[in-house]
Amino acid sequence: MANLILDEWLWSDLSGENGQERQRESFRFIKAIYIRCDRIVTVKNSPFETKAKRFLGRSDATSRPIVKFCSRAILFNSDKFHCILEQELCPVPNTALVGIKPDDSYLVEAYYVDTTTTIVSTDEPLIDKLKSNGVNCEHRDEFVTRYLATVSKLFENGSS
């Protein structure tokens, strides 16, 4: 099982704010996380969790099936989603947060609980800063494309 730290792009994508193609791709990505037995990790009361809760309130026809899947299969499934409580956070090296926006510090805090995780973001300056500090971090576009291809290969190999 891999732990993934995603920032708020996921909820923007799933709500359709970034276009229908991103919405469809991110919905496939969430389904792939479920299939691969991976898990999303965040910090309690983080911007990610706040936006997730807001997303769950969507009721338009396009969002309803996505909300239903995300809530049942991911957000209310402890095997798929873990919110790190404040008391579970580990000390973060002082240099790791230098130049990181306060709203993004939760990503780094979550990472230092388990440094085998990968942070997936769309914020290129953040990605560059994290990589320069030795943090496993990838851009959403490359990561999601590769992740979905891996899941497709699992099905191809499983059916042969």
Report all structural domains of the chain as residue ranges with CATH numbers, in order of start: 3-159 (3.40.50.1010)
Q: Give the predicted TM-score (pTM) of the model.
A: 0.92
Q: Read off the pLDDT of residues 63-108 as tens digits, 9 standing for 90 and up.
A: 999 999 999 999 999 999 999 999 999 999 888 899 999 999 999 9
List the alpha helices (DSSP H) in the chain.
9-14, 20-36, 47-56, 63-69, 105-111, 124-132, 140-159
Q: How far apart are CA 96 and CA 85, in angstroms?
A: 20
List the chain residues with pLDDT less than 50: 159-160
Cβ neighbours, 10 Å, residue 108: 22
Other residues' Cβ atoms within 10 Å of the Cβ of residue 145:
13
Q: Residue for token digits 């099905």?
A: 155
Integer Cα distance of 83 and 89 in angstroms: 11
Among residues 91, 90, 121, which one has the least CA distance to residue 103? Answer: 121
